[in-house]
Each structure stands twice: as C-alpha cells, then as structure tokens.
Amino acid sequence: MAVTDAGKTSPIEAAPLPAPPAEAPLKRFLSDFADSRLALGAALLLAAIMIVAFLAPVIAPQDPYDLATVSVLDARLPPGTENFAGYTHWLGTDGAGRDLLSAILYGLRISISVGLASGVIALFVGMAVGLVAAYVGGRTEGLIMRVVDLQLSFPAVLVALILLAILGKGIDKIVIALVVAQWAYYARTVRASALVERRREYVEAAQSLGLSHARIIFRHILPNCLAPLIVVGTVQTAHAIALEATLSFLGVGLPQTEPSLGLLIANGFEYMISGKYWISVFPGLALLLTIVSINMVGDQLRDVLNPRLQK
C-alpha cells in the first residue's frame, strides 16, 4: 500500500501555477466575441443605434412633439424636400408634417426603453421564480413549472393583447404586459441550469456551513446560471421590442402622443398605396436594423458563453 509507506508531506505543494492577470477572462471573452466580424459589426451598429436613440432630444433636427415647430403644411413631403422654413427633411415628413428622421429617433428611444425595461424586469422576475422552483423542488416546483408551461403554450402576442385590452394604453401598461408575456422564458431557462447546479457538492458544502437558503440561491447557485440567462436576455429583449411594435401597430400599445416605431409604421400604412412609401418604410428599416443587430449579438454571445461550442 503506497499510502502507508509515503513519507511526511512538505507543507506547501510545489509548482504553483503562474497566476494569470485578473482581467484575462474578460479579455478572452472580448477576443472570442470579435472572432465573428459580422457580430462585431452588429455590436457596433447596436451601440450606434442606442447612442443616437438616447441622444434624440439633442441631435434630432426637430422636436416632433412640439406643435409650434410642426406644421401640417409640411405633411407627406418626400425625402430630401426642403420645407418653407428652408430646412431639408432628409427622410421626408409624415401625415402630420413631422420630420420623419426626428420621429424615428424619438420612436427608437421609446421602443428601446420599453424593450429594455420589460426585458430587465421580466429577467429578474423569471430568474427569482425559476431559482426558487429549482431549489425548493417538490410541489412548489411542479406548480410553478405548470404555470410556465401554460403561459408558454399561448403566443406571447395573444397574452399581451388580452392584458392590454384590460389595462388600457400607456408605457407602464405595455411594460407590464410584456413582462407577463415573457417572464416564463427566463424562469424555464434559469430553472434548467439551476437544477444542475443545485446537485453540485459546493451547494451541499454551503448547506453544511450553515449558510442561509437565500444566500445559497443568490450567491452560490445564481452566478453559475448567468451565462444562458444573458443569452436569453438579449434575444428576449429584441423580441420585446418587436412585440411592442406589433402591439402599437395594432393600436393597443402606446398612445399617439408617445409614438414608438410601431405606431409610426401604422401611421404611414394608409399612405402606402398612394406611393408615399417613406412614412412606413424608414421606421420599419430602423426597427429591422435594431432587432437584427440585437439578435446577432445574442447569437454570438451564446456561441462564446457556451463552453461546449468552443474549440
């Protein structure tokens, strides 16, 4: 038996590994992410869209909500037309005479804010519910997951439509509707990874160290479930933006006074047949670019964060 013959051990094991610098994981993550030129381009585009959207009040040529500067006489001007005030509408004007470029910038700001707010709230709600379900198990878990199944068996648009029909219009109401329509995705994702993590021995170790359940769930299990959550978060945020545009297009989302992209598209829809394409098409393009770039960033995040897909 080698064990019985082995001599006394030296207190410090030889050959400590060279300690890599602390920022190494982040650096590797960034370089992995930049492996795909397309994803890098999408990320830059997304950053640009976010910046112009949130700087809309500063950089937009016109305040589309200020009735003093908006004139009905300028209505439905094609792109590139100069108005009476000597100002050029590069993307034309809409049916109410608003500068379309300005309206799109303001619309983007609303669309992205609604998408982010509902995405973040739904993430926290779904995350908490999913973690508790996985950790507690038993009947509680069964009940929660059946609710999730039920919720996911309805199309998200339908759930949101029903809710908005009850709640009425307004930014806060559409955020609530989007959260209700989407929390279940997060709950299911986080539960799947938390189920794996809670069987690990480090959770048993934490229990035997007398740490509280809340501490074990949020400090020990949660950090190990974050990667899939981030990926689902990006994709679902894009989804929320599209969903909000759909609802606004259908006329149940935001009020006319706070036009998001969906509402702009809807407003221009009636002029499509008469050849005034720009009122719908440009807001549509803005929406498309935003959603596609978020989705591409999300896809690349999934590839980078999933160790099984790494070479």
Partner 1 sequence: MSETPILTLENVSKRFIRRLDAAEKLVNVFGADRREQVVHAVDDVSIAVKQGEVVGLVGESGCGKSTLGRVVAGIHAPSEGRLLWRGQDVESASAELQRDARLKVQMIFQDPMSSLNPRMRVRDIVGEAPRVHGLVSGAGVKDYVDDMLLRVGLDPSFRDRYPHQFSGGQRQRVGIARALAVKPEFLVCDESVAALDVSIQAQVLNLFMDLRTDLGLTYLFISHDLGVVEHLSDRVVIMYLGRVVETAPTDELFREANHPYTKALLAEVPRIDTRKRKFQPVKGEIPSPLDPPPGCHFHPRCPFAFERCKREAPALKEIAPGRHSACHLNDGG
Closest contact distance (angstroms) between CB of 94 and partner 1 is: 50
**172 versus 204: smaller Cβ distance to partner 1:** 204
**14 versus 166: smaller Cβ distance to partner 1:** 14
How many Å is the maximal CA-CA distance in the chain? 99
Half-sphere exposure of 23 (CA within 13 A, CB side): 3
Q: To 10 degrees, the CA torsion angle through 7, 11, 17, 23?
A: 160
**42 versus 301: smaller Cβ distance to partner 1:** 301
Closest contact distance (angstroms) between CB of 185 and partner 1 is: 23
Q: How long is the chain?
A: 311
**16 versus 86: smaller Cβ distance to partner 1:** 16
> In the numeric block, which tokens belong to residue 157?
């648009």
**8 versus 311: smaller Cβ distance to partner 1:** 8
Q: Is the dihedral of CA 198, 200, 204, 206 positive or negative?
A: negative
Closest contact distance (angstroms) between CB of 292 and partner 1 is: 32
Say if CB 241 and CB 119 are below 8 A apart. no
Closest contact distance (angstroms) between CB of 189 and partner 1 is: 18
Closest among 41, 28, 106, 49 to 237, alpha carbons compared: 49
Closest contact distance (angstroms) between CB of 6 and partner 1 is: 3
At residue 98, the 3 state secondary structure works out as coil
Residues that bind partner 1 (CB under 8 A): 1-4, 6, 8-13, 16-17, 19-20, 22, 142, 200-202, 204-212, 215, 219-220, 223-224
